[in-house]
A and B are shown apart, each in its own frame.
Chain A
């Protein structure tokens, strides 16, 4: 029973298209995140939601729009995809005790051609 699941796992699309990535967690966590991992493996936070409320919005192009319909789901919609958006996008969730850390999904590898 996957704790944090993301779909799709792979996404290949052309420049200019719009795409969405979905994330669901069954851990009962209140906080969910989107991280971007670039080709050099660097992990950078994009957004964070706590109980459906946006609490972190890093310097991300406004082509990226997160949506959290409930605290178990966090989706990421990307408009007008660019070559530089190619990366692995990770969803994660965390509970109230930081010592338990974040639980990450397996990632969505987005390739823009």
Chain B
């Protein structure tokens, strides 16, 4: 049972373009939605996170859009760069257990 569904599985974007990765969740008790970035041979690293009381959060070229009624959230990477090429994971959790449930990951390749 996949509680957080992520798409697409892979994505190729030209340098300067917009990368969009989508996630959907089932559990309405989730109250924290982070995105992680993972480079080959490294552990995932927190990129940006949002709580469901806001619809959008922007940090530099990275934006999370959140649609609570649709139970969906997405990551937009503006002006994508080759250095952004990595695997991106959405995640969700709730409350005190702090167990992060990860999506299945999106391999992003930004072509120069």
Which residues of A line the B interface, CB within 8 A?
4, 31, 40-45, 48, 55-56, 90, 92, 94, 98-107
Contact = CB atoms under 8 A, between A and B. Distances in A.
B18 interface: no
B44 A99 contact: no
Name the residue among B34, B38, B43, B93 with the largest chain A CB count within 10 angstroms.
B43
Contacts of A103: 46
A25 B104 CA distance: 26
A90 B100 CA distance: 13
Nearest to B105: A41
Given A55-B97, A98-B32, A98-B93, A43 B102 contact: yes
Nearest to B48: A101
Contacts of B36: 101
Contacts of A42: 102, 104-105
B43 A92 contact: yes
Interface of B: 32, 34, 36, 38, 41-46, 49, 87, 89, 93, 97-102, 104-105, 107
8 contacts: A41-B104, A42-B105, A43-B89, A55-B97, A90-B44, A98-B49, A102-B46, A105-B43
B49 A101 contact: yes
Contacts of B97: 48, 55-56
A41 B43 contact: no
B56 to A, nearest CB: 16
B43 A101 contact: no
Contacts of A45: 99-101
A101 B50 CA distance: 11
Contacts of A107: 41-43
Contact of A98 (B43, B87, B98): B98
Given A43-B89, A56-B97, A98-B32, A106 B43 contact: yes
A21 to B, nearest CB: 13
Nearest to B95: A98
Name the residue among A40, A100, A102, A105 with the largest chain B CB count within 10 angstroms.
A102
